[in-house]
A and B are shown apart, each in its own frame.
Chain A
């Protein structure tokens, strides 16, 4: 049984179904049932996406009761409430420090009402705000996880500053939630095709794709694209190199004691059940080596790159990623277990 406990678990962020929920094609129950049917029993939400009213208006108890009833009905586990902290709420002046802390506390409270293990903090939040809110998170029995997201990464001074602040605080209610979009090894095909549809000349798109694979510094690529006559969409495509890079999955190993949830970001799952641009085989191997036993929650973000040209099929994309994760994690076949 101990070995079973140590296995990586599968979940889904309902962010993945944003196209369908935005259009009213799937409701909360449809999303949760879909995840359970894939054997992805961990559920992550962006609170204000799944619960209208949060945070400015609030959420009624009946909606919270419905959530808990769904968790019970589908045998799913509430993993994370992703909060936003709108510190630019006031035009022309940042939200004062104490008000930011109070805002995080309200999200801790909301996460606790939903029975979450974690709440997700965006990477731009001041570490001192999270440190100040940590005692309340301890009191409520959940952890605040900073989402380490491209263009930031585990060697960036901003993340190191967070890590140092967490260590100094002595609180184990502070941790990290790495987003696998830090590990884009190949330029995503769906991005390239979108920039071409937007007007980027194909030869420039080919150059940028090759430069990315050659790991050329983004500033050089931007200059070269400009000299090739690139403008508008071509510069936009080159700009993506400033915000994305092929960082090393093994850099997570130094932080394993504070990593408690993972965003399984992906842009395109092929029919062969592989992510076109992100090396999940290597990622899962690193996580296993680090003894990771939390959730990997699917986070499909291909929708925005294809919605202008084709029907978005979020459920099929998530299903493919879940199949891939099941294989990489090494889950026993559920039918074999039942037999």
Chain B
């Protein structure tokens, strides 16, 4: 459910520090009818124009706090709420060139009552402003 609503439209931008693009970010939601504690988010995989980004380069931020994916696995005191827009940042020197990019997102969630560990995907073409 909500597969096609995971990546939020019109949110792709470069992350600029001291005048240099050090990566890019976009907003994303859980494909789920409830929220989830962060320790149960097993993976947030990002693809850009068909190229997989390294897991170590991904950062997750909600309400002013930021985690690496490994840090999230032992975060028991915070959560990704139902429908909440989290910022997904990918560290990538130079960021993305202005123009359209195909952003792929795959979220793997460990859900207690399911007899499998679902991975849900979304793919959208987003624009980076010049």
Report which A residues bind B (CB closer than 8 A). 15, 18, 21-24, 46, 48-49, 52-53, 55-57, 84-91, 122-124, 303-304, 307-308
Contacts and interface: CB of A to CB of B under 8 A. Distances in A.
Contacts of B78: 56-57
B104 to A, nearest CB: 17
Interface string B74-111: 00111101111000000000000000000000000011
A60 to B, nearest CB: 14
B123 to A, nearest CB: 13
Q: Is chain A's interface secondary structure helix, strand, loop, or mixed overall?
A: loop
B33 A49 contact: yes
5 contacts: A48-B81, A52-B35, A57-B77, A84-B112, A307-B1
Contacts of B113: 84, 122-124
A307 B4 contact: yes
B82 A307 contact: no
A84 B110 CA distance: 13
A52 B37 CA distance: 12
Dominant SS among interface residues on chain B:
loop
Nearest to B3: A308
Contacts, number: 78
Residue with the greatest number of chain A CB neighbours at <10 A, chosen from B29, B34, B36: B34
Given A49-B82, A56-B77, A84 B1 contact: no
Contact of A88 (B3, B73, B84, B112): B112
Interface of B: 1-5, 29, 33-40, 42, 73, 76-79, 81-84, 110-113
A50 to B, nearest CB: 8
A86 B37 contact: yes
Contacts of A46: 33-34
Contacts of A53: 79, 81
Given A87-B112, A307-B1, A49 B34 contact: yes
Nearest to A147: B113
B79 A56 contact: yes
Contacts of A90: 39
A89 B36 CA distance: 10
Contacts of A307: 1-2, 4-5
A114 B120 CA distance: 33
A187 to B, nearest CB: 19
Contacts of B81: 48, 52-53
A86 B40 CA distance: 9
A274 B15 CA distance: 52
Contacts of A304: 1-2
